[in-house]
Structures are given as structure tokens and as C-alpha cells.
Structure 1
Amino acid sequence: MPFLTSTGDVHELYLGTEGAELDEANPDNRFRLEWLQSVDSLLEQVAAETVKPLVITATGKFFSNGLDTDYIAANASGLPRYLDRVHELYIKLLTLPVPTVAAINGHAFGAGAMLAQCVDVRLMRADRGFWSLPEAALGMPFTRGMATLLRTRLPDAAATEAMLTSRRYGADDAAAAGILEEALEADRLLDRAREVAAERAPLAGPNLGQIKVGLRRPLIADLETPTPANLL
């Protein structure tokens, strides 16, 4: 399960299991219900302190492989509430009252790629992993909130290509497209994320959270719109 630690004055949220390279129960860090609850609780801890910036990274091969497709297949009637729960996590991260940086250590697909777009700054290792929105290739629609998230958090050309073609972007291509800020060697990724977070540490506090809410108010409103039962 995800865990929170600190290095100096920076919180680090890992989307994996402490002490294990891979979580056998959830090796690609999918958005399982218990995983969502764990991440939510850890973000609450970060928000309550409001003095340390946050780096989000993961263990294993994946940053996150997105939605729990097994749960969706077995709980069609529960899909709207499940997606609303994902939206709630996005809102919490988008409005966190501390600077946030993603150190994308591996594949970030679908809802996992969207999670990365909810932070302030994105860095990704250059030698392994793809950022991708596979929904078009999989015959899956984007919710209203997800579409708005991508439309407002990506350059228009990148959002159009990524959403309509399901292209897999390596880190260098993703940086060139404006999807993320920096592509780095693996051994520099986490240290650089800590540097960026620490540089912004003096901005942490309730005022930063209010600014984020104001900046992203239309996006938040769309993420708060309940998912219709006929989405699929």
C-alpha cells in the first residue's frame, strides 16, 4: 500500500509498498478502492501540516497503470461512484496547500497519467516508461472532469494528440510536447524532484491552497459533476 516518508523538509508519497520493489497484490499501482483510500489519507496528512512540499513517486515498473479494470468489469453498476471517487482524489491533489512535484519513475497510463497532471511540476525518467492515455484505443470515454483536466493541464496540441491517438510518449517526447517539465536520468530523478520541491517550500501554506482553488475553479467544478450512469 502507498506510504509517506520524508527527506529533509520534503514529504515523499510512494505509490507502492514500503520495503518491496513490487506490491504483489497491486504491482502496477492501479486505483483500487483501498489504494484510493490510502492515498487520500496520506494527502490529508500532508495537507494538515501545510509546511512541507510533496514529491509523489512510486516503486516498481509503474508510476500508476490507472483504473482498476477488474473492479470495473465486476461492478458495472458501481462505475459512476468509482469514477467520482477518482475525481475526488484529483481535486485533493490539485488543491493541496503545498507545492507538489511528480517524479514519474515508470509507466503512467490512463488515470495514472492524469494523476501526474494534478501536481504543479512533473519530472520523468528518460530511460524507461511511457506516459499515455489509452482510452481511445480501448474504446473507453473520458468523463467530463477528466476531459477538462487534460484540456486545461496540457497544451492543446498535446491534449488533442494524446486523447485521440493513445500515443505512448517517452519522457523526452513528453517534455517536448509540454506534458512534463523535465526528462532526467533515473539516478537523478528523485534528487531533482526534491530540489524543485524544496525551492518552492517557502510558498507552502493555506494561501497557496486558496490560490490553487481560484486558479482551477472551473476544472474543479467539472470534476465535482457526478458521473452519469450511462457513461458506457
Structure 2
Amino acid sequence: MPYLERDGDVFVVYLGNEGQTDSENRFHPDWIAEFHDLLDKVEASQGPAALVTTATGKFYTNGLDTDWLFGNMDKSHGYLDRVHSLYTRLLQFPLPTVAALNGHAFGAGAMLATSHDFRVMRADRGFWCLPEVLLGMPFTLGMNALLTERLTNQVCVRAMTTGHRYPADEAIAAGVVDAKADADALLSDAVARAAALAGNRKPNLPVIKRGLHARALAGLAVPTTSENLAFALG
């Protein structure tokens, strides 16, 4: 389950289990609930602050908990809406946010990274990837809105229709991430970037973010139904 630490003015949410380095950090419903609880704690703080998310080991996050999802298809619409709630929350989070991609960010996990203000990726290994086309899975209307508003059209075409795996240099060139760092410097780099922005925690920050991301937020607010998921499935 995710857990929280603090480094000066920067809150660091780790996406995996404390002391465990081999988790894929998938979005089980309990994981989603815990992530929101940690963000509640961060929001309840006072004064200058910023947020970094990261993990340890091979994965930043591998996205949807497909084992849970395929075992609970009767709850799939509500589950996907809860996934959307993570993106919605981060897009308009009242603190500056930085994702430190320590490893693979795949599918819904790649979208989680894309929901942050800024992204720093490990230089030597790990991919940002949307493999849905290869898995026969659709993008929900909300996911489509997030990606098409945060990335350029041609990057979306390549990422969404081919499942291309972006290493750090390609991800930077495509605007998928902002920077790269060596593995041993990744977290400190992300924390430094976040700390430099901590003073921007002011009441107008979420207002600015809601304006910037209005179309993505509108798409994410559409409840997932059989009708619009069927549309996504074609």
C-alpha cells in the first residue's frame, strides 16, 4: 500500500509497500483509497509544500489491477471512475506535483504520471508506455480526454495506437516527461524541483490548474457506463 514521508517542504508518496521493492503497485480499490487518504493528509498540512510521487524497484506503477477487475466485472464501471478520480485529483491538486518515475509506468500508471505537473524519469531504464492496443483494451472517455489534453496529437497517435515504449530520452523529446536523472539522483532531483515550487502553494494555484485542465477534467467527470464504454470499445 502507498505510504507517506516528508523531506522538508516536500511530501513524498511512495506507491508501493514499505520495505518491498518488487511490487507492480497496481490500482487495487484499497490502494486507490489509501492513495486518496494520503493526499488528504498532505492537503491538511499548512504552509509552503509540494508533492512528489515515486516508488522503489522495477515499477513506478503498472496501472489497473487487472486480476481484481476481471474478477469483478460487475463493478468495473465504478472501479474505472475511481481510477479517474486519481487523475482528477492530481490535475487540480493545490500543491505543485512532480512524478519521479523510478521504473516502468504502464497503462493507467503512465496516465497517473501524466496527471502530475512535472515528470522526471530514470535515465538508464524503465519505460512510459500505453499498451492498451496490444492488450485489446479500450481507453475510457476520461482516459482519452486526459491523454489528448496533456500530450500532442501525434504523440497520442504513436503512444495509443502502437503501444510504443518510451525510454527517457524519447519521452523527453515527445514532451511525455520533462527531464531525466540517474537512478541514485532521481528522487533528490524530483524533491529539489518540487521544493523550488513549494512557495507557489497559494489559493489561486488549484484555480489556475482547473482552468488549464478544464477539458481533461470535464472528460474525466463523465461517469463510465455500458453505453460509453461500449463506444470506447467500438
Give SS of 1:93's match: helix
Shift of residue 21 of structure 1? 2.2
Instruction: Give CA-to-partner distance per residue, 1:45-70, whole Å, 9 cap, x none.
Output: 11222531001101221000000111
Match of 1:149 in 2: 146
Q: How far apart are residue 18 of structure 1 and its match?
A: 1.7
Whether the aligned pair in 2 keeps the contact of 1:43 and 1:93 (CA below 8 Å) is no
| Residue 185 of structure 1, CA deviation | 1.1
CA distance in 2, matches of 1:226, 1:202: 35
Q: Which residue pairs with 1:207 in the alignment?
A: 204
- 1:89-116 Cα offsets, whole Å, 9 max, x none, are 1111111100000000000000000000
Letter in 1 for 2:40: E
| Stretches of structure 1 lacking an aligned partner (at least 5 in a row) | none
Distance 1:173 1:89 in 2: 26
Can you list the C-alpha shifts for 1:82-140, whole angstroms capped at 9, x where unaligned? Answer: 00000111111111100000000000000000000000000000111111000011111
RMSD (CA atoms): 1.2
- Counterpart contact for 1:17–1:59, Cα < 8 Å: no
User: What is the TM-score when the length of structure 1 is the normalising length?
Assistant: 0.95
Amino acid at match of 1:16: G
Asked if 1:35 corresponds to 2:34, the answer is no
One-letter amino acid of the structure 2 residue matched with residue 71 of structure 1: W
Which residue type is aligned with residue 17 of structure 2? T
Contact 2:25 2:59 in 1 (8 A): yes
1:165 aligns with 2:162: yes
- Aligned position for 1:115: 112
In 2, Cα distance between the equivalents of 1:30 and 1:103?
17
Q: How does 1:65-214 map to 2 (within 5 A)?
A: 65-214=62-211
For 1:21 and 1:164, locate their aligned partners in 2 and report how far apart those are by CA, in whole Å. Answer: 31
Q: Does the CA contact (< 8 Å) of 1:16 and 1:60 recur in 2? A: no
The CA deviation at 1:19 is 2.4
CA distance in 2, matches of 1:197, 1:226: 32
Percent sequence identity over matched residues? 52
Whole-Å separation in 2 of the counterparts to 1:208 and 1:46: 15
Give, in whole Å, the separation in 2 of the partners of 1:214 and 1:173.
29
Displacement of 1:182: 0.6
Taking the aligned partners of 1:160 and 1:85, their CA distance within structure 2 comes to 26
How do 1:212-231 and structure 2 match up within 5 A?
212-230=209-227, 231=229
* TM-score of the pair, normalised by structure 2: 0.94
| Count of residues paired in the alignment | 228
Distance in 1 separating the partners of 2:44 and 2:213: 21
- What is the rounded CA distance, in whole Å, between the counterparts of 1:85 and 1:205 in structure 2? 27
